[in-house]
Homo-oligomer: A and B are copies of this chain.
Amino acid sequence: MSRALNDHAGGTLFGVALNYQGLLNSHLQSFNQPPYQKPPTQPVLFIKTPNTRNQHGAPVVFPQGVERLQPGPALGVVIGKRASRVSVEQALEHVAGYTIVNEFSLPEDSYYRPAVKAKCRDGFCPIGPQLVPAAEVADPHALEIELRVNGERVQHNSTANLVRSIPQLIAEISQFMTLDVGDVLITGTPEGRVDVHPGDQVEVRIRGLGCLANSIVTE
């Protein structure tokens, strides 16, 4: 039985950049040039601050003075048991369950270190509507994920294409920082991000997790 997500409110929201294979592939050439010289060897993390928290059915504000806004459909992994230096094998024991995240962002040139200004606008991280317990998700690496804008499917992928699996992410991140109960790993947005505009209805659907719907509004 799924729980309301509020049971786990207040945790840190960890974004993972470049975690879909198609997205990473499309940037490999530029990553092999200066200043990077090589693709990232570690998960590229960013933080969605608490002011970004938003929920199913609530509006997402298209900020004044901004040219472009992009939704970021993602599978959210909610930590259920404190994780410090856990192994890949034990990582999933620390997962309470799964939810849907729409990680809104202003588009950026650089993928290496996403900017607070692009990622942390108020309301830029709808989460929900439900936390589906881990036991009810047969395989979190085989979930169809799609983004619909005004009813039309504009992104379509599968968590089978994650670069780093959920256990790998938990193991790698927990090597250098403690993940706490209620923290959420936003496991990545697939390639093909699209622009949305005020008036648009945006839905992220993940098979088995439901639908997270938000409307884009002006201030």
Contact = CB atoms under 8 A, between A and B. Distances in A.
Interface of A: 12, 14, 34-35, 42, 45-47, 49-51, 63, 84, 110, 112-117, 120-122, 176-178, 180
A34 B46 CA distance: 23
Contacts of A115: 45, 113
A28 B71 CA distance: 35
29 contacts: A12-B49, A12-B51, A34-B34, A34-B35, A35-B35, A42-B117, A45-B116, A45-B117, A46-B116, A47-B47, A47-B49, A47-B116, A49-B177, A51-B178, A51-B180, A63-B176, A84-B122, A112-B113, A113-B113, A113-B115, A116-B177, A117-B176, A117-B177, A120-B176, A120-B177, A121-B176, A121-B177, A122-B177, A122-B178
Dominant SS among interface residues on chain A: loop
Nearest to A84: B122
The 10 A-B residue pairs whose C-beta atoms are closest, nearest first, are A113-B113, A45-B116, A47-B47, A51-B178, A12-B49, A122-B178, A120-B177, A35-B35, A51-B177, A117-B176
Contacts of A120: 176-177
A130 B161 CA distance: 49
Given A42-B117, A51-B177, A121-B177, 15 more contacts: A12-B49, A12-B50, A12-B51, A14-B116, A45-B117, A46-B116, A47-B49, A51-B178, A51-B180, A110-B113, A113-B113, A113-B115, A120-B176, A122-B177, A122-B178
A185 B120 CA distance: 15
A145 to B, nearest CB: 24
A20 to B, nearest CB: 19
Contacts of A178: 51, 122
A177 to B, nearest CB: 5
A72 to B, nearest CB: 17
A14 B120 CA distance: 12
Contacts of A114: 113
Contacts of A42: 117
